[in-house]
Amino acid sequence: MNFLRLINSKSLSRKIPTIHNQISLRFRQKSTSFSQSHAETSTNSTQNGNITVWNVYGPPFINCFLIGSITYISLHVIWYKLAFIELQEEMENKVNELENKIDSLKKNNLEVK
């Protein structure tokens, strides 16, 4: 019985490396075809040297800066518009008060004469 197990294990151990070799050869063939088809694009992107920190983190920082700047400026424009409307209402109220004061002074002058 032990002898059969030993034979079976030896035959299995011989089959496993051949299957493993076949799989690894297929994988290598696919990976080399993939790397050959994309070799031109990868060499173009890394022509100037290795990937730097700026290449990795630069675009997200630029996007964040642009979105933050646009948000900040748009909120300031809205704030200035609201402040202008408030100031305009205050000035209209002040003009109405002064016009009422002028009218009352005119009435007083007419009554005195």
pTM: 0.45
Q: Where are the domains of the chain?
A: 1-45, 52-113
H-helix segments, the chain? 2-37, 39-45, 53-112
73-111 pLDDT tens trace:
999 999 999 999 999 999 999 999 999 999 999 988 877
Size (the chain), residues: 113
20-37 pLDDT tens trace:
566 666 666 666 655 555
pLDDT at residue 39 is higher than 60: no
Distance of alpha carbon 41 from alpha carbon 16, whole angstroms: 37
Distance of alpha carbon 23 from alpha carbon 17, whole angstroms: 10
Distance of alpha carbon 112 from alpha carbon 106, whole angstroms: 10
49-78 pLDDT tens trace:
678 888 888 899 999 999 999 999 999 999
